[in-house]
Amino acid sequence: MEEYDLIIIGGGPAGLSAGIYSGRQNLKTLIIDKDLIGGQAREIPLIENFPGCPDESGLEIIERAEKQAKQYVEIHDMEGVNSVGKDDNNNFIVKTSKGEYLSKALILTTGSKHKQLNVKGENEHIGRGVSYCATCDGMFFKGKDIAIVGGGNTAVTNALYLNDLGCNVTLIHRRDALRCEKILEDKLKEEDINIIWNTTVEEILGDPLVSHIKLLNKDGTESEIDVNGIFISIGDIALNELALSLDVDVDSEGNIITDKEQRTNIDRVYAAGDVTGGVRQWIVASGEGAVAALSAYKDLLNADLI
């Protein structure tokens, strides 16, 4: 069984940053990802808010980051982690689809996935008018008609943000009252953003780009509205299964709880990036990954494990 000082599970921005920082501390490190390195980040057509990388695709940035990380660490992609446990010496046994590995410490950068509406036409139009990230994609819809689905803080914040960008915003909510903070609701009213109440999206249409959506009102009436894009803001789901198997603490929404050094409640287990909740942006994930790697190095050093 191959042994490592540190195994990082997840190869997105947080995982790659953690790998670069751990490798530069001379920790023998392995990054494992169940998909191609970068995951969902590879699908972003244009990123304009990552420092030093204007007007580049997510794939371009990830490929450079992967190349950089490979200077310091070993990377296994397309290798799913099936389970994580401990041996008698309190080291971690990581079992994957291709083998077993032993590690003194773990960093969980397993990310999150967007909650979907699960309606007809949604998956077919991802990247063609369907988006889950206003910060990432909002500028593409400046001056265009867009719908936002949701009624919580994220949805209303996105509505305000996209309205400020110059989008023509309609908020669609399945209830008759918003679930956001009062101050956000007041700002929504001040901006006079249109809201369609008691309504759900039933189908997303357009060929190949989104052109209109079908709606169903609570009273049973149906309607259609023309839109150039639809932002789905009904929450994210942390990919926390491995964390839960290790008895790592999570909050009420399933996000891994860490301290400011990215430590979890389990000794020598750290977490970074979207799986910890908060601001789900590349720059934040990268910073947390770096902090997690440095914390792992410090803890292993203090415990005379390296």
Active site amino acids: 133, 136-137
Q: Concatenate the DSSP letters of all residues of 48-68 into one string.
A: -SSTT-TTB-HHHHHHHHHHH
Number of Cα atoms under 13 Å in the Cβ half of residue 249: 10
Q: Which amino acid is at 137?
A: D
**Is residue 45 reached through a cis peptide bond, with omega within 30 degrees of 0 on the bond before it?**
no
Measured in degrees and rounded to the nearest 5, phi and psi for residue 57 equal: -80, 160
Burial of 185 (0-12, 13-18, 19+ CB in 10 A): middle
d(CA 242, CA 220): 42
Answer for the pair 4, 93: CB distance below 8 angstroms, yes or no: no
Could you give the dihedral angle defined by the CA atoms of residues 249, 255, 257 and 259, in that order, rounded to the nearest 10 degrees? Answer: 160
Rg, C-alpha atoms of the chain: 21
